[in-house]
Each structure stands twice: as C-alpha cells, then as structure tokens.
Amino acid sequence: MAEAGGAAAAAAPAPDIDPDFEPQSRPRSCTWPLPRPELPAAPGGSRRNAWGNQSYAELISQAIESAPEKRLTLAQIYEWMVRSVPYFKDKGDSNSSAGWKNSIRHNLSLHSKFIKVHNEATGKSSWWMLNPEGGKSGKAPRRRAASMDNSSKLAKVRGKASKKKPPLQSAPESTADSPGSQFPKWPGSPSNASTISARLSPILTEQDDLHDEELLPSLVYSSASSNVPPTVTEELELIDGLNLMSPSSSVLSTQQSASSGQIQRDSSFSLRSPNAAGQTTTFGNSLFNPVDISLQSSVSHFSAPQTLEALLTPSSPPPRDVMMTQVDPVLPQTGNRMSSRTLLLLGGQATQSKMSSGNPRGKPTEQQAESVGASVLPSTLPIVTSPQNTASISSLKAPVSATTAQSVQLGSPLLLSSASPAPLGLNQDRLPTDLDIDMYMENLECDMDYIINSELMDGEGLDFNFEPILSTPSYPSTSQASNHTWVPS
DNA sequence: CCCTCTAAACAGG
DNA sequence: CCTGTTTAGAGGG
C-alpha cells in the first residue's frame, strides 16, 4: 500500500491524465485482439482504472506489441508504461513505483497470454512476448489442442507439494551488481550477447509429465526487426549469426540468423499452458532433448549425427548425396499457405541479405531502405539479382516449405560451391566443435517448420494489425513517446 | 462466478 | 534490489 495506495490516492490529485482521455476517432482498429468489447469507453468517464479502461494485461500487450521485435523485458515494459501511459508517466523510474510494477509482474506471470523467453545477455531479464494463442484465463486452446482433457480445468492439479514455508528466513543477500543503465536505448536488437549458445540450458526435461501439447512455441514474428540497425546492431547481428550459425555458411548464415535465428535464437521459451495449471516449461535452445522435438513436430527428422559430423568435418568433403537424399522432402506445398507475414519475412531477409552482402557495415541510410523492403512485400521476393540472393532464397525457402536440416547444411556447401562471395574469410576457424550448433539448428528448423505449418495456417493470433498506433498506445498526450520510442524511426 | 486490481510472501539472481 | 511466481482478498460486472 505504500506506494500504490499512495499513488492511487495521489493519482486523484493528479488529474493531468483525465483531461487527456482519448475518445479520438479510432474507428475500430483494435489495438490487440481483445475479444471482449471492453467498456464502451464512454466519454462520460467510466474508466475502470485511473489510467483508462484497459487492464494491465492489455497494456502490457500493447507494450509488447509496440516493440519492434515484439518482445520486451520487464524493465522495458515498465518504461513503456511510463512513457506511454500518462497515468504512469509521473511515477516512472525509481522512487514511487511499486504497486503497479508489482501488478505488471503479476500479470505477466499470471496470464498464459504472455510468454517468457529467456534471455541471457547482460544479465538482463527474460523477454516477454505475447503468446500467439493468447491463453487468457481458462480458455480452451483454440483448435490445435491435441489433447483436450478438458474434463477438469478446474482441477488445477498441481503436483507440487505446496511449499511449507515456515516463517523462518535467512538473509541470503549477495552481489551488489549494478547494471545501471535504466535507459536501454533500444538497440532494437536486444543484445544477445549470449554468443555461442547459452549452453547449459535450464531445461528440466520433465519426462514425467509429457503434457506438452500446446506448449508448442509458435513464434512467428520477428523478422521485421531489421529496422534498427545503425551500425552496432548490425555488427551484433552479424557476430551473433556467425557464432551461432555454422561457421561455414558465412553470408548465408548471417542472413538466416538475422531473421529466423532471431526468432528463437534467444531461445528457450517457457509457456504456460492453461490446463497444466501453471506448469511452466522451458526450452533451452542449445540443447533440449529430442523427445520434445519429435513431439513438437513430426517432421521428418532424419538427423543423422554422424552425417552431421561428417558435414562439419573440414577434412571430409560434404556428402552431397546425403543432402540430395534429404532434399527430396515432402510437403511441397505446405508453403502455399504462407501469409503475407511470411512473405514479408522473407522479403525482409532478402533485403537484408542484399544489404549485408553489399555492405557489411557502417552504412548510414539503410534504415529507410530496410523499412521499405519490409513493406514492399511479397512481390519483392521473387526479385533477385545476385547469385547470393538466389542461394539465400533457396535456403530461405527451405525452412518454409521443405524440411529440415537441408537448408542448414545445405547452406554451407552448396552455397560455397555455387557462389560464395567470401566476403568473410572466417569460416573454417571454428569448424569443429560445433555439434551443439547442429543440434541447435535442427531444433530451430523444426520449430520453424512447425511454426509455419501451424501458425500460419490459421494465423489466428497474428492477424492483429493495428495500424495507427505502433509504439504509442492511444494516449495522445504522449508527446514524446510517439516519436522516439523504441522504434528507431 | 468470473475478472481484475492490489498486496504480499517467497524463491533466485 | 530486481525479476518471477503464487496466494489471497477486495471489488465490479
């Protein structure tokens, strides 16, 4: 009550927000799915909360949505609140801010609508993203709920033996770490300095309960991210890509990683499944057991360790036959479903690739280009000019329609043989010792595949497009927020 | 009842 | 301290 109460109470005296309001035009364009009509937002003034009609959950959603990458850390969410919502504006950082932050946190972890993607960077907290499905309270998981053991959603069976907590308490206290920077300047590319795999994933592999079903991560967004990169970002991305991706693929890998990589690279999501009663599962990117994978997608997963090894082995020539064999794969069509999003994604990639190849770094002026590319849309796709692109496209395409590793491995040898521009000479340095990566890749692939198949198919949760307000919620009063929020421009 | 907000305890970092 | 998870009660519909 210390703050919140005070704040709330104090809020009363601080009417600065009220006048603002914002009936505005805003015909409909819902900011976010919002199944429920919400309050009529009567101009008369029926605000549920001091800040308006939206619930915390909704606000958070907006915040996340507004982020270029659709993911934010807690702190960033806070920030967004402060900047975007007049009500919180005053109470932003430091001092008076407790109650609402608590609530934010509470909401984040409570609703299945939000998923946590852990981010091991600079000790930053996890990313929070929107769960494509939008769990929302006891709502049934849309269609693809493989296992609807509906029966008892009320029976929140929680195997946990509570937590006997005697009033006892010790003072663990430690580390006075000081991250400082309350001001993340939003690199856009969230510093994933994790570099080579955050091996050591927390994955608990709870084989006991195989209730995975809807745990499936299906993140599709990302991609668009590109619009950020001044220099540093780019570098980061490149580096990142290089590290994570197979060393041999150089350029191609870069591209891929740039987009697809980003999606999961951050790795490890934890989703809460409604039924599971708050069970949280975390997937580590670097290594999680095959079991999960197989479960996730029945995609043909040949995955021959040896083969992979061979592939990676510098001395041994890449067994093309193998790849050939695998190439054939199946699902020729699946891809047709691709929504504009996918295309967009691809387009983005293409663009990016072009840029990066043409100019590795230190390029002013690209931001616009980027955005353009992104918006250009599907038609852009086919447009390819340089060999690299071709290669890239094929590779890109792979994950979409084709299957597995193909793209990945394919990327390296094929590309190299066909058109490697070799802008970067650092391939063979770390060839060996990459098994992890492979695994990782595979995972990636699977996910991608799955994602594409599942998500794009229905595109349920993703269609929300709120045009007008991107970074700004809806509050007009947000003077500065509109401009330089986190969106680069 | 269900939903939301709020407060608080508690586990880890 | 910050981040997350979870419990619990108040209040509104």
Starting at the edge strand that comes first in sequence, how are the strands of the sheet with A71-73 ordered?
Answer: A71-73, A127-130, A114-117, A269-272, A280-282
A122 CB closer than 7 A to any strand C atom: no
**pLDDT of amino acid A425:** 33
Type and span of the H or E element at A82: helix A74-84
Window A148-187, strand B contacts by Cβ < 7 Å: 163, 165, 167, 169, 172-174, 177
A198 CB closer than 7 A to any strand C atom: no
Q: Strand C: which nucleotides have any atom within 7 A of a protein Cβ?
A: 1-8, 13
Collect the ranges in chain A with pLDDT lower than 50.
Answer: 1-43, 138-268, 273-489
The pairing of strands A280-282 and A114-117 is unpaired
Radius of gyration of chain A (CA): 23
**pLDDT of amino acid A122:** 67
**Apex CA A64: angle with CA A262 and CA A376, to 5°?**
60
**pLDDT of amino acid A49:** 84
- Report pTM: 0.43
Largest CA distance in chain A: 76
A73 CB closer than 7 A to any strand C atom: yes
Å: A93 CA to B7 C1': 20
A47 CB closer than 7 A to any strand C atom: no
Hey, what are A17's tokens? 């927000």
